[in-house]
């Protein structure tokens, strides 16, 4: 292990599903608060029409104070730093949004200095109004600039909690040819060599592998959560499932739901599989036993387990504890 230890900076919280609700659609607020998503994100950015921005901001400030959000993590996506709305959104949330707000999500981040600027604004405004709870920051990586500077961004503030991948804006920024947000493209393929009958098979490739892998790597290096973004075709649960499975395997802790039907899928897929939980619990029990007898390593079903296995097992067991607690609350 390096002398540089990676501490988890992100709070330990469930983040399997993040439901987006436009700030202009107040009729969905109570439903979102009572629903099964781990996280609710009230949106001031792209899901809100330009003429509705002011009213959406007022709606959100009111809802943060008045709606019972129960045990949900509540976040708000503000407008980007390239707009005159960004500072107004941030100030309204910090000054008038009450203590229920957990984090502010910043879209289209391009450099660490973007986060530095927002952190400064939040810090000053929080001190001015005597805020008690620390407001976290969430970053959407959704531009070529953001992906290029991702390490600088991931290390830019102690408020940072998570990096999210926004496939729609990312595709636009890079000039990619995509058809469905976060989905595949039938022309992004490899051809196998000819077989004995002279036939070749088309293999689809994953357009999103590189940016997602890079994002998870940067997030973990800085102790942050990595969250997969939107899957646009909410009439395609199989497509959602396959995409979510891949990113769960890569190390993402959750995925956005841009439609309520995607919440249950995300909750299921980002819950550790029963077999992994069983094994993690067995590892912790075996290590406990080994420590009692003064040994640093143990064997489980003929496989060596050591300190690294314990850390992984502890993560899984802790996450499962939170899921069970939520299910009974």
Give 167 or 316: the residue with its C-beta nearer to ligand GLV: 167
Q: Which does 167 bind (CB under 5 to 8 A by kind): Mg ion, ligand GLV, none?
A: ligand GLV
Minimum distance, C-beta of residue 48 to ligand GLV, in the bound complex (Å): 12
Span between the terminal Cα atoms of the chain, in Å? 39
Give the count of alpha carbons within 13 A of 309, CB side only: 21
Minimum distance, C-beta of residue 307 to Mg ion, in the bound complex (Å): 40
Give 235 or 302: the residue with its C-beta nearer to ligand GLV: 235
Cβ contacts of residue 56 below 8 Å, gap of 6+? 22, 23, 24, 43, 44, 48
Give 67 or 225: the residue with its C-beta nearer to ligand GLV: 225
Provide the 8-state DSSP code for 109: -
Using CB under 5 A as the binding rule, whether residue 228 contacts Mg ion is answered as no
Give 258 or 269: the residue with its C-beta nearer to Mg ion: 258
Question: Which of residues 102, 138, 169, 228 is near Mg ion by CB under 5 A?
Answer: 169
Residue numbers 132-151 binding Mg ion by CB under 5 A:
142
Minimum distance, C-beta of residue 283 to Mg ion, in the bound complex (Å): 40
The rounded distance, in Å, linking the Cα atoms of 298 and 302 is 9
Residues that bind ligand GLV (CB under 6 A): 107, 140, 142, 166-169, 181, 229-230
Alpha helices in 46-184 (DSSP H): 53-66, 86-96, 112-129, 144-148, 150-154, 167-174
Minimum distance, C-beta of residue 270 to ligand GLV, in the bound complex (Å): 18
Q: Which residues bind Mg ion (CB under 5 A)?
A: 142, 166, 169
């Amino acid at each position: 292990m390096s002398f540089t230890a990676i501490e988890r900076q992100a709070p330990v919280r469930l983040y399997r599903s993040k439901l987006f609700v436009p700030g202009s659609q107040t009729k969905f607020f109570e439903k979102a608060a009572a629903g099964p998503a781990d996280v609710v994100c009230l949106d001031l950015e792209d899901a809100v029409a330009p003429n509705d921005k002011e009213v959406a901001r007022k709606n959100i400030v009111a809802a943060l104070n008045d709606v019972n959000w129960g045990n949900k993590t509540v976040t708000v996506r503000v407008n980007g730093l390239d707009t005159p709305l960004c500072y107004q959104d941030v100030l309204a949330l910090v000054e008038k949004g009450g203590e229920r707000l957990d984090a502010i999500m910043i879209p289209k981040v391009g450099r660490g200095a973007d986060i530095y600027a927002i952190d400064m604004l939040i810090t000053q405004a929080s001190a001015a109004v005597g805020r008690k709870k620390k407001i976290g920051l969430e970053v959407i990586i959704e531009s070529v600039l953001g992906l290029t500077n991702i390490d600088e961004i991931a290390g830019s503030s102690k408020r940072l909690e998570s990096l999210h991948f926004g496939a729609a804006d990312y595709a636009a920024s890079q000039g990619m040819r995509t058809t469905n947000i976060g989905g595949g493209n039938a022309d992004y393929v490899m051809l196998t060599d000819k077989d004995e009958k002279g036939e070749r098979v088309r293999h689809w490739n994953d357009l999103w592998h590189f940016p997602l892998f890079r994002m998870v790597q940067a997030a973990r290096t800085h102790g942050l959560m990595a969250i997969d973004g939107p899957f646009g075709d909410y009439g395609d649960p199989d497509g959602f499932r396959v995409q979510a499975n891949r990113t769960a395997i890569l190390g993402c802790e959750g995925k956005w739901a841009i439609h309520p039907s995607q919440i249950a899928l995300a909750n299921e897929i980002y819950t550790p599989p029963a077999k992994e939980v069983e094994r993690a619990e067995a590892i912790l029990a075996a290590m406990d036993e080994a420590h009692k007898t003064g040994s640093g390593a143990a064997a489980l079903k003929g496989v060596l387990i050591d300190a690294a296995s314990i850390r992984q097992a502890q993560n899984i067991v802790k996450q499962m504890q939170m899921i069970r607690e939520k299910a009974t609350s």
